[in-house]
Amino acid sequence: EAQVTQNPRYLITVTGKKLTVTCSQNMNHEYMSWYRQDPGLGLRQIYYSMNVEVTDKGDVPEGYKVSRKEKRNFPLILESPSPNQTSLYFCASSLTGQAAPYEQYFGPGTRLTVT
Amino acid sequence: EDKVVQSPLSLVVHEGDTVTLNCSYEVTNFRSLLWYKQEKKAPTFLFMLTSSGIEKKSGRLSSILDKKELFSILNITATQTGDSAVYLCAVGITYSGGGADGLTFGKGTHLIIQP
């Protein structure tokens, strides 16, 4: 089954404790992206990756890191989480190319609470 | 700054009514416009529009894009309680420097269908 998986689905942590949210897709998509969703602010892009070893900042990259060592995986790293990073996080993937962006497939979401 | 504005932000109608959701945008390097439906989980893809004036239909849902006036509408006819969700509009853009595509999301329209 074609899917994007994220782990963990729920996480409560404390300020400053490094954490990683994993994202994996099995569709051989080149493009992967991380979003955060907050009430009243909608979905905002954190980082994206066009392909292996190619990553770039989205609209709200501060406080986050990513890596793309393999095509299928795109982990999101919070080196020193703070309460303002409490949010619902989505990973997404899609094909890419010269034409318009293909539809993005979203993972199930990770609800992160930083106390 | 790229901007995607959806209206109304929330809408309550009765089952059987027809609703029209609006999405206007101001972006550079427009590639496509996408509609997603989000229930209490990850967004699911509905439509991708790239050409003006060509309606896309899926059952009771339809959508059209006007690239001259920079907006799109999503119509839902004969609404059902299962249509209750947040409907997200996103515009696919090419980031400056070329070669990369991203999605800028609106804040969504929260649609509630009352029995």
CA distance B11 to B21: 9
User: Considering only CB atoms, which chain A residues are within 8 Å of B31?
Assistant: 100-101
Q: Does A56 reach chain B within 8 Å, measured CB to CB?
A: yes
Closest chain A residue to the Cα of B103, Cα to Cα: A45
Minimal Cβ distance to A100: which of B50, B99, B100: B50
A84 by DSSP, 3-state: which?
helix
Task: Fill in the amino acid letter for B62.
Answer: S
How confident is the model over B36-50, as pLDDT tens digits? 999 988 999 899 998
B13, two tokens: 């109608």
Share of chain A above pLDDT 70, in %: 95
How confident is the model over B18-36, as pLDDT tens digits? 999 999 999 888 888 999 9
User: Considering only CB atoms, which chain B residues are within 8 Å of A90?
Assistant: 42-43
Chain A residues 12-51 with a CB less than 8 Å from chain B: 31, 33, 35, 40-45, 48, 50
